[in-house]
Homo-oligomer: A and B are copies of this chain.
Amino acid sequence: MNIDIRMAHLFSALDDDQVRQVMESSHTGTLKDGESLFETGDEANRFFLVIGGQIKLFRVSSNGDQKIIDIIQPGNTFAEALMFMEHPIYPVSAEALGPAKVISFDNRRFLQILSGSIEVCFRIMGTMSQRLRGLIKEIDDLTLQSATTRLCALLLHRMEDVGQDHFTLPAAKGVLAARLSMKPETFSRILQNLSTKNILKTKSNEIEVLDESLLRSLAHLESIYGLEPEKPCVLKGQNISIDLN
């Protein structure tokens, strides 16, 4: 297997020699569906690059609920930010969502390389900066937006990624529900509700968006990014009463 880790943003500034050094400390692993990579509270001496499948990062509450913090896609690294802490401890658990393949790297080794390359440092800082922004957005969603809003926003993003109004959900419904911090039942009901309102059609994991602009207004994406003047939102929650006049 010959993978160029420079496909990952984090490593993209490394020269051949540095790549060799990093790879020396690396370890490639294959994970079965549901197999655990590490758990919340484990000592964090390594960070990871996903090269196949998906890895889910999550936390578990005292009553057993799990909240998915992120789903890492191939080509992306995770847990690299911990490298800079004195006593690095994973703040989340990680396990494979379906079969997956990851490479892990030794923190100490990578720090050595880092200390020799400002460019790589900047690269990392950029990555971390983006992650920070993403988390703030997430907090925003969780506190300021309703379940319906969050689901609509996810559908719109998916739609834009695919570039079509007809697409497949990027994961099982239950998984998406956990990602959006809601119960599968709620997820299901919202979809059904949107269906009833003729905003979309659903057939198992296939979604067809019928009314994009309505969907968009339910997701009020404008205000999330603060690009539009805040406007009072008439449509709210699940009890959408839409007037098509």
Q: Point out residues on A near B: beta carbons under 8 Å.
A: 39-41, 59-65, 67, 69, 81-85, 91-92, 114-115, 118, 121-122, 124-126, 128-133, 135-140, 142-145, 181, 220, 223, 225-227, 230-233, 236
Contacts and interface: CB of A to CB of B under 8 A. Distances in A.
A44 to B, nearest CB: 11
A62 B233 contact: yes
Given A125-B84, A126-B85, A129-B83, A69 B226 contact: no
10 contacts: A41-B226, A61-B223, A62-B144, A64-B230, A64-B232, A81-B129, A82-B133, A84-B125, A121-B121, A142-B142
Contact of A135 (B122, B124, B135): B135
A130 B114 CA distance: 19
A231 B142 CA distance: 26
Contact of A124 (B64, B92, B125): B125
Contacts of A118: 114-115, 118, 121
B67 A139 contact: yes
Counting every copy of the chain, the complex holds: 2
Contacts of A226: 39-41
B125 A63 contact: no
A190 to B, nearest CB: 17
A62 B235 CA distance: 11
Given A67-B143, A139-B138, A133 B220 contact: no
B132 A65 contact: no
A63 B236 contact: yes
Contact of A136 (B69, B83, B84, B142): B69
Given A91-B136, A181-B143, A129 B62 contact: no
Contacts of A121: 118, 121-122, 125
B225 A67 contact: no
A142 to B, nearest CB: 5
Given A59-B140, A62-B223, A84 B135 contact: no
A215 B126 CA distance: 40
A92 B131 CA distance: 15
Given A41-B226, A118-B118, A125-B125, 15 more contacts: A40-B226, A61-B145, A62-B223, A62-B230, A65-B144, A81-B128, A83-B125, A118-B121, A121-B125, A132-B135, A135-B138, A135-B139, A142-B142, A142-B143, A143-B181
